[in-house]
Amino acid sequence: MRFEQLDVWKRASRLACDVYKALKDCRDYGLKDQMTRAAVSIPSNIAEGEERESQAESARFLYFAKGSAGELITQIYIAIEIGVIEKQRGMLLIKEVKELSAMIAALIKIRKGSVREDLADYDSEPRT
């Protein structure tokens, strides 16, 4: 499967765009740079891992994506606290990052062979 077909990659790419939009008027350029880099790193590492030759290499890059998700969550909390992002918008972003992190974790298990791909629910939209 191509990375462009993965819902987790599509959602992570959308999240990166949402982070850019949320920070459009931010004058704290250091925080803005850190947050946009972390946000872009998530779908970028998913894509890079899926382009690798082995399941182990794919899992390695998925770990990087998951790490960037944790980094972004931390930065969003800070941005809320210092008034860079409105609390409600920030909490929605955090919720999405946490859902993506869970999807990435499930995909890591698949790539490492601990879950059969046909039984996994890693690549589906959350049920509401």
pLDDT tens-digit profile of 33-65?
Answer: 999 999 999 999 999 999 988 999 999 999 999
Q: Domain for residue 127, yes or no? A: no
Reported as a pLDDT band with limits 50, 70 and 90, residue 116 is: low
CATH code at 60? 1.20.1440.60
Residue 113 — very low, low, confident or very high, per pLDDT cuts 50/70/90?
confident
Range of the domain at 115: 3-119
Angle at 94 between CA 128 and CA 75, to 5 degrees: 170
Structure confidence by residue, pLDDT tens digits, 64-92: 999 999 999 999 999 999 999 999 999 99
Cα 107 from chain centroid? 12
Domain for residue 39, yes or no? yes
In a domain, 128, yes or no: no
